[in-house]
Amino acid sequence: MVKFEEMLAAYSPEKENESPFSQMMVDAGQTRALVPLDRYEALENMRSGFEWHNNMIRLVASCVREGLTLSETLDVMKDVTLPGYSPHETVDEISKAYGGAKRKGYDRAGIRVPEGLKTPTKQYQPLLQWLHEIPDSEPQFLVEAMIEERSLALVFGRPASGKSFFAVDVAASISTGEPFQGLKVQKGDVVYIAGEGHRGLRRRFDAWAKHHKINPKDIRVMISRSAVNYRDEDAAKELEEELIEAQKKGLKPSLFVIDTLARNYGDGDENSNADMSRFIRVVDSFNDKFGCATLIVHHSGHSDSQRGRGASSLKGALDTEFLCAKKDDAILVQCTKMKDFEASADLYLKLTSVELATTSNGKPVESAVLTKTNDTVARSTITPSIRRNLRVFCEAATEYGGKAMLNEVVLEYRVSLENWREVFYRRATQDTAEAKRKAFERARKELVQKGHLEVYDDMYLLKSPEAGQTGQIPDK
């Protein structure tokens, strides 16, 4: 058992100018009883201000011994500010104690946690638990029905499709607490890992602030000066250390934005599942360490614009995925994957110009923000998913004799709900029957609501424009 006096020695001042409470702790140790410490009791004492330092250094020692990072240790004591100290000063005190425990070897074998110290961590938890013991709580979203806390999300699209403007809009909304396109957000700081175009990115945030009548200084976003190769261990470690230092100064991140994947991927092969899996593991580790979600900005496939570029393991790892598709002035943001919930509704947006300043020769300095547009304009866009679903519909109608022709002109495609569903399930790529059912319902509702199909009882109809009727024929 490590006695209290031994802990005091671990934090006793090695130099006269070290932490001001170190000598106080040595003095206090002369009379303190050797009583084991319960973590929960210690935290309660710290919240009430009772022997804050005494409890703090023993908790820090236990965290170091368990192998927790500084960020995880700070999270254990995130709501126990030292009386008379600011939150930043409190973080500094805990960080000094953490460093002292590391220097004294509390993270190495042979030094045990004080006897009686209860540490409810993964190390001491059984692997299995009963289903009914799992806490039942409502999902918590950073952006209502779109991006969940601590999740991995991605937005992809072709160049100039508006995907980076989407990321800026999400980041600015979360960092200020302003609704995102009418959807509620959970306020928190944002870390934006930018691969290029930092000045342009600054103008986009300034334009957002001006449009929403918000002081740009109230946008709590930190932006990297360069890309970060997430697949490089040293680069990832350097970013982690900077984030920990920023936390000491008040950063409370809730979202990371990686813009773009390609710029922050290093020299790895995007088509390699092994390389992509390594990238994903590092991104997931940042989410875990800092309690954040990550939104990745990515390019669409070279030959298939309806999916993100690169290895299939990327989409498999995502909790949420969005497609940005642009036609004329309209931008459609469509949810193409929602792991545990119903897909969010489509957003129909447009880029609205915002004048920021005037140059010395009288020319305006401008940027843009995303604003909602007239649905009828955007709904006329045939997105990749709509085209795919119409093709499956026409296949089902043809297979079950519902393709009506006059000479060589197609008059209509007609098929029952049951037969359409059968062919859709056969073509669906989802893993489970329930996932296929949900995908079919989304496709059915979308095609009817957007006017591509007409429905009479359980019979669905697509009329050919070649016959002078309404409706759309998908490209072959």
Token output for 92: 């500094």
Q: Choose between 476 and 462: higher pLDDT.
A: 462
pLDDT band at 17 (very low <50, low <70, confident <90, very high): very low
How far is residue 131's CA from residue 134's CA, in Å, rounded to a whole number? 6
Least confident of 15-19, 107-111, 124-128, 419-423: 15-19
Q: Is 308's pLDDT higher than 50?
A: yes
pLDDT at 115: 45
- Name the more confident of 433 and 15: 433
What's the pLDDT at 108? 60
Q: What is the average pLDDT score of the chain?
A: 82
For range 184-200, the mean pLDDT: 90
376 vs 454: CA distance, rounded Å: 17
- Rounded CA-CA distance 385/339 in Å is 17
Tokens (6 digits) for 411: 């008059």
Confidence of residue 380 (pLDDT cuts 50, 70, 90): low
For the residues 92-97, what does the mean pLDDT come to?
83
**pLDDT confidence tier of residue 125, bands split at 50, 70 and 90:** low
Structure tokens that stand for 350 in this block = 């447009």
> Is residue 31 predicted with pLDDT exceeding 80?
no
pTM strictly above 0.85: no
The pLDDT score that the predictor gives to residue 387 is 83
Domains and CATH numbers, the chain: 4-124 (no CATH), 141-379 (3.40.50.300), 384-467 (1.10.10)
Calculate mean pLDDT across residues 128-155. 89
Query: Phi and psi for 181 in degrees, rounded to 5?
Result: 50, 45
Q: Determine the pLDDT at residue 471.
A: 41
The 3-class SS string of 279-336 reads HHHHHHHHHHHHCCEEEEEEEECCCCCCCECCCHHHHHHCCEEEEEEEECCEEEEEEE
What is the helix (H) or strand (E) element at residue 95, kind and residue range?
Answer: helix 87-103
Query: What is the pLDDT at residue 463?
Result: 65
pLDDT per residue over 244-257, tens digit each?
999 999 999 999 99
Q: Is the bond preceding residue 260 a cis peptide, omega within 30 degrees?
A: yes
C-alpha 263/C-alpha 273 separation (Å) is 18
Q: How many CA atoms lie within 13 A of 118 on its CB side?
A: 7
Question: Checking phi first, is residue 248 left (phi over 0); if not, alpha (psi -120 to 50) or beta?
Answer: alpha
Q: What is the pLDDT of residue 163?
A: 95
Q: What is the pLDDT of residue 386?
A: 84
Determine which helix (DSSP H) or strand (DSSP E) holds 358, and give its type and residue range.
Answer: strand 347-358
pLDDT digits (tens, 9 = 90+) for 389-431: 999 999 999 999 988 887 777 778 899 999 999 999 998 888 8
pLDDT bucket at 375, cuts 50 / 70 / 90 = low
* More confidently predicted of 198 and 209: 209
347: left (phi over 0), alpha (psi -120 to 50) or beta: beta
Residue-level pLDDT at 335: 93
Q: What's the rounded Cα separation, in Å, for the pair 369 and 386?
A: 27
Q: Name, of 29-38, 59-68, 328-337, 408-417, the range with top average pLDDT.
A: 328-337
- At residue 470 the predicted structure's pLDDT band, cuts being 50, 70 and 90, is very low
Q: Is the pLDDT of residue 265 over 50?
A: yes
Whether the CB-CB separation of 18 and 93 falls below 8 Å is answered with: no
